[in-house]
Amino acid sequence: MIQEQINRLVATLQALTLQRINALRSGNASEANQIQSVQVDIDAKIHDLERQIIQSAERAQRVS
């Protein structure tokens, strides 16, 4: 379930990257900066979810 969330967020990041490139190409630096800000937030969420997976795996090892 967590991995599915990560996969969705990665896909969103990829889509936002294309949007950001288009914004930069059209000279819309403000929009590109806003997109980048959202990308940073999404990236942080991905890292949080990856940490959760690692912590769950570590707990499972301790139990077994």
For residue 17, the model assigns a pLDDT of 98
pLDDT in tens, 5-64: 999 999 999 999 999 999 999 999 999 999 999 999 999 999 999 999 999 999 999 887
For residue 15, the model assigns a pLDDT of 98
pTM over cut 0.85: yes
Cα separation, 1 vs 12, in Å, equals: 17
DSSP state of 58: H
Whole-number average pLDDT of the chain:
96
Query: Residue 17 in contact with residue 39, Cβ under 8 Å?
Result: yes
For residue 30, the model assigns a pLDDT of 98
* Encoded tokens for 38: 């959202």
Query: Residue 64 in contact with residue 17, Cβ under 8 Å?
Result: no
